[in-house]
Amino acid sequence: MDSLRNKTGFICDMDGVLYHGYRLLPGVKEFVDWLYREGKHFMFLTNASGRSPKELSQKLQRMGLEVDENHFYTSALATAKFVAAQSPGCSAYVIGEPGLFNALYDAGITINEINPDYVIIGETNNYNYEKICTATNLVLRGARLIGTNSDITGPIEDGIIPACRALVAPVELATGKNAYFVGKPNPLMMRSCLRLLGVHSDESVIIGDRMDTDIISGIESGLDTVLVLSGVTSKADVDNFPYRPRLIIDSVADIPR
């Protein structure tokens, strides 16, 4: 545990690590206080694309935790950065929530429902057959298909909901085209976080509750890896994967102790 506490950079997943739904997990406030007190470089990372960093900061504030918006990074921001680097000044047909639209606008990507360069899909509550049909035909006419992340499901307080990959799947099946997914476990997202933090992967750790996104993305990016059992993964689940985190702890509350 001492080697973990000596790390300079901390990249932390959010749901299942910091909170469940709108309930802050025990010990999280003490963990965040420790990050600030020790002068750690830290980023709260989420594959969810619907909210902006400011909205995520306000969500934590409503739970009683003050964290500046500069400490948040989303798959929407990573997607916008990737697409803008690939094709500066391009246009896109977008299925998603305001957080995704805002990130794309800020990166200079315009919305186009006629002949876009890309079709970009993130999580949304406004998913319907008409949008699937539009996206399908735009991809068939040459638009490249992008998903903000490859999560199939996401947690809610009383179960699960279909997440980004489940929403992209009908377009992939109808067109025969595979989407490119930008969020975790794509190392692109991790490298962007490290650059924003100004730290090297050897000096950093990722803390998450999922083996298939958080832990594998840390391994593939050269970060130290810590699995917390406060989310969706149990100790028994770890044996189902061909790789392991370096540390398994109950929650982030264990780190400052």
- The catalytic site residues sit at 13, 15
Which helix (DSSP H) or strand (DSSP E) does residue 37 occupy? helix 28-37
65, 74, 16: which is closest to 43 by C-alpha? Answer: 74
User: Regarding beta strands 224-228 and 204-208, do their DSSP bridges make them parallel or antiparallel, or are they unpaired?
Assistant: parallel
21, 80, 22, 34: which is closest to 207 by C-alpha? Answer: 34
Query: 187 preceded by cis ω (within 30°)?
Result: no
- CA quadruple 95, 97, 100, 101: dihedral sign: positive
DSSP letter assigned to residue 212: I
Q: For the purposes of burial, counting CB atoms within 10 Å of the CB of 159, is it exposed (0-12), middle (13-18) or buried (19 or more)? A: exposed
Q: Which amino acid, one-letter code, is at 186?
A: N
